[in-house]
C-alpha cells in the first residue's frame, strides 16, 4: 500500500510540475515557472521516498536477518538533508544580500513568520 501511495505521489508531482512549467512558459510568469521547478524538486523527493519504501519491502534474507526496514528511514533522512541544504542555501543567499527590497534580512524573517502564521503561505 505504501508503494502505491508513493508512486501516485511521484506521478502527481510530475503532472503538477509539467503543468506549472508549461503554464509559466506560456504566460511568461516567472513566479509560476519557479513554482514549476520547485515541483520538479518534489518529484525528486517523492522518487527517493518511493525507492526507500520499495527497498524496505524486501523480505528477510541471510545477509539481512532483520530485513531492509532501515532503507525507508535512510530515504527519509536523505530527504531531510536535501531540504536542510536547500533551506541553508536560501538563507545564505539572503544573508549575503543583507537587504531585499529595502528591508533588512531580520525584517524579512519577521514578515515571513507573520505571513506563515496567518496561513497565507
On the question of pLDDT at 23 being above 80, the answer is yes
Domains contained in the chain, number: 1
Looking at residue 114, its pLDDT comes to 46
- Is the per-residue pLDDT at 116 higher than 50? no
Q: Which three cell numbers stand for residue 35?
A: 513554482
The per-residue pLDDT for range 56-114, each reduced to its tens digit, is 888 888 888 788 888 889 999 998 988 888 777 767 766 665 555 555 555 555 544 44
Return the pLDDT at 36: 83
Domain boundaries, position 12: 2-117
Give the chain's radius of gyration (CA, Å).
19
Dihedral, CA atoms, 55, 59, 61, 67, nearest 10 degrees?
A: 60
Amino acid at each position: 500500500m505504501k508503494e502505491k501511495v508513493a508512486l501516485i505521489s511521484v506521478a502527481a508531482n510530475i503532472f503538477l510540475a509539467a503543468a506549472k512549467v508549461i503554464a509559466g512558459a506560456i504566460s511568461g510568469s516567472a513566479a509560476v515557472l519557479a513554482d514549476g521547478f520547485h515541483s520538479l524538486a518534489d518529484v525528486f523527493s517523492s522518487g527517493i521516498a518511493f525507492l526507500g519504501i520499495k527497498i524496505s519491502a524486501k523480505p528477510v534474507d541471510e545477509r539481512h536477518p532483520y530485513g531492509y526496514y532501515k532503507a525507508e528511514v535512510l530515504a527519509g533522512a536523505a530527504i531531510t538533508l536535501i531540504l536542510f541544504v536547500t533551506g541553508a542555501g536560501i538563507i545564505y543567499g539572503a544573508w549575503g544580500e543583507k537587504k531585499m527590497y529595502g528591508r533588512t534580512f531580520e525584517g524579512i524573517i519577521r514578515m515571513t513568520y507573520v505571513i506563515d502564521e496567518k496561513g497565507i503561505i
